[in-house]
Amino acid sequence: MNTPDLSRRNFVKLSSAAAGAAALAGSAIPRALGANPGSDKLRVGVIGCGGRGGGAAINCLDSAPGVEIVALGDVFQNQVDNVEKRLQQYAQKKGTKQGPLQKFTGFDNYKKVLATDIDMVIIATPPGFKPVQFEAAVNAGKHIFCEKPVAVDPVGIRQFIAAAKKAKEKRLAVVAGTQRRHQASYLELIKRIHAGDLGELVGGQCYWNGTEPWFRAKDDPKTPWLKNLSDFEWQCYNWYHWDWICGDHIVEQHVHNIDVMNWAFGGPPVNIYGMGGRQCRGDKPGNVWDNFAVELEYANGVRVSSMCRHAPKSTQRVSERIVGTKGVADSTQSNTATIKGAKAFSYSGPTPDPYVVEHTDLINSIRSNNPLNEGEEVAISTLTAIGGRMSAYTGRQIKWQWLLDPVNGSKLDIFPKNPGPGPGVFPKVPVPGITDLV
């Protein structure tokens, strides 16, 4: 696989394309393309019916007229049933009617969803599953909304990037769940940063510090059916707690903030150096850590600090800060976007829901025959977070090119090749100096 051209110029071009699509959100909507080119309807399937999958389905329905959810797939029947119920409640609230749904379960559910008569698919499965499912969706000729992050290791990232390039060749639209790239306040702030309002960028910080995630024990009386699952299935239901399926929380959540830094700096870092540990989780199931501190060194020599943490009763901070020679920019998902300095700025414009706008941008790009493709940029930000995890786990500084190079670079490939009911995968908690760099 060729190394993708991810220069600052190309990153800025990708971001500009997303901004242009956002500007179309209020425009007239042409006829849909896809499996039903003679219809105004856009038929959508959902792969992964957890909380985000159901939420993305509702966001998609809110984003544009003529959208129908027609197929649902998940490993677990109860997840499919939950999203079906949410869609029925949504339709009732809107005074409409949810049409018949094709429903599929099991580990091959994604193949069955992709075999239906859909134009577009929402992929909202745990990160480890995404490279194979995304590639299958591209091969099936579907437009794609893919939640972040998109892999758990460098091998998976390379597979995803190759599929994203194929999607571009096939003129398939691909939008990722990095919704800040479709949020008005962020779009305006990054535009000003790229225009030089901060001067030369000299530093930055980004954060995702929050509380502990959910966990579902096999003997939980609220979910008695869990005790009937194989260990592998149970792990899939508790996917956040193993690195081979979630990537650890630096990948699963903090990728949002890391993506903003890559966006602002016009590309990925050249060196990654991290540390962290597992203080709060103790002997709880899983092998993921609960804190990371990672230094990202960009091409101009600027070092950005990245911090994420899961701890009970902790003060939460989810934000980004970018420092230039002429000012300082601060941003949060709650539409805070400011510059303090020579060209002071405070965002006060419209604040449409970015979780909806990202679907509007995707659908407008399909219907205007000008497909967006964010596949490579979300893969690169995911790989940046993976690199931070790998550096912290091993205690080693990592070069970006080594992460990306399929021949002389990392061979780390931690997701099982044939996932399905059976024995679990229970790797040890990583220990720097002991855990190998692969």
199 and 140 share one domain: no
176 and 186 share one domain: no
108 and 222 share one domain: no
**Separation of alpha carbons 48 and 52, rounded Å:** 8
**pLDDT digit string (tens) for 228-252?**
999 999 999 999 999 999 999 999 9
147 and 277 share one domain: no
Residue 155 lies in a domain: yes
| Three state DSSP letters for 156-217 | HHHHHHHHHHHHHHCCCCEEECCHHHHCHHHHHHHHHHHCCCCCCEEEEEEEEEECCCCCCC
Lowest mean pLDDT across 7-11, 78-82, 229-233: 7-11
**Structural domains counted in the chain:** 2
| Three state DSSP letters for 304-315 | EEEEEEECCCCC
Domain of 340, in residue numbers = 182-352+382-404
Lowest mean pLDDT across 177-181, 213-217, 400-404: 213-217
Residue 387 lies in a domain: yes
139 and 217 share one domain: no
φ/ψ bin of 41: left (φ > 0), alpha (ψ from -120 to 50), beta (otherwise):
beta
Tokens of 290: 């609960």
The one-letter amino acid code at 219 reads D
**pLDDT digit string (tens) for 294-332?**
999 999 899 999 999 999 988 999 999 999 999 999 999
- Whether the link from the prior residue into 149 is cis, omega within 30° of 0, is yes
> What is the pLDDT, as a whole number, of residue 282?
85
Tokens of 110: 């994604």
210 and 242 share one domain: yes
Residue 425 lies in a domain: no
130 and 277 share one domain: no
Residue 409 lies in a domain: no
282 and 146 share one domain: no
361 and 347 share one domain: no
What sections of 64-183 are H helices per DSSP? 77-94, 109-114, 130-139, 154-169
Residue 438 lies in a domain: no
317 and 211 share one domain: yes
Task: Give the residue, 214 or 46, on which the prediction is more confident.
Answer: 46
> What is the pLDDT, as a whole number, of residue 77?
96
CATH number at residue 97: 3.40.50.720
Q: Which residue's entry shows tokens 């679990």?
A: 424
The model carries a pTM of: 0.92
Residue 419 lies in a domain: no
Residue 410 lies in a domain: no
CATH number at residue 279: 3.30.360.10
**pLDDT digit string (tens) for 14-59?**
444 444 444 333 332 333 344 344 457 999 999 999 999 999 999 9
161 and 233 share one domain: no
Residue 345 lies in a domain: yes
30 and 77 share one domain: yes
Tokens of 303: 């070092």
Stretch 73-78: mean pLDDT: 97
